[in-house]
Amino acid sequence: MSELPRKLPAHVAIIMDGNGRWAQKRGLPRFQGHFKGAESVKEIVKATREFNIPWLTLYSFSEENWKRSKEEIQTLMNLLVEYLEKELSEMQENGIRLKAIGRIWKLPEKAREKLLEAIEKTSNNKDMTLVLALSYGGRQEITDMLKSVLRIKQNLTDLDKITEDFVARYLYLEMPDPDFLIRTGGEKRISNFLLWQIAYTELYFTDVLWPDFGREEYIRALQDFATRKRRFGGV
């Protein structure tokens, strides 16, 4: 059993990649990989709460994922509904507050309603915040931020007021920047995830496919984070 390091991030973000390849390697249909990946979600959320890490953001469904087949999208939306229905009581018992970022209005009605219901019911929980990125893209978030500013601040003429803090207030969610970004599945790219927020985030890439990423792999990643020296542009 790996030992949890003392130095831990306050906010972990994860690009959960590899469900399809996990299934393909086993001669299974892609949806079986998504089912197995949902088990990893439960395990990592549970571990994050246990480790007293206050924030966890999961890249659950990207804006680009709408290009996938209708069958696969339906499977993913059904899994989202199932997760919210089954895990709501666990979130309540463990003080987990649920939030979401992305173009939520594009989700199917049932998924959107279940999501908003869970967000409302967990809104007073304070021990951990779980953020699901759904119909999300980093470029889209910045685009939507500009639309919000122009709509609300039509007569903004004092450009000195446009600071980084000002921009952050108009993103999908005001939250601390991730300290640590994990990407599973072997790819080494950001894939349009939290482009504004990860300016100084420590990045960790692993070949482990998401359905195989459990508690031990998570601790191994956190051990790597503990060795990093974060300078934020300083010496």
Catalytic residue among 65, 78, 94, 192: 65
* Integer CA distances (angstroms), 170 to 58, 146, 150, 158, in order: 20, 8, 11, 17
65 belongs to the catalytic site? yes
Task: Yes or no: say if 35 and 28 are a contact pair by the CB < 8 Å rule.
Answer: no
Please give the angle made by the CA atoms of 72, 116 and 101, to the nearest 5 degrees: 70
- In the chain, what is the greatest distance between 2 CA atoms, to the nearest angstrom? 60
Report the alpha-carbon distance of residue 202 to residue 204 in Å, rounded: 7
Please work out, in degrees rounded to the nearest 5, the angle formed at the alpha carbon of residue 76 by the alpha carbons of 129 and 67: 110
Question: What residues act catalytically?
Answer: 17, 65
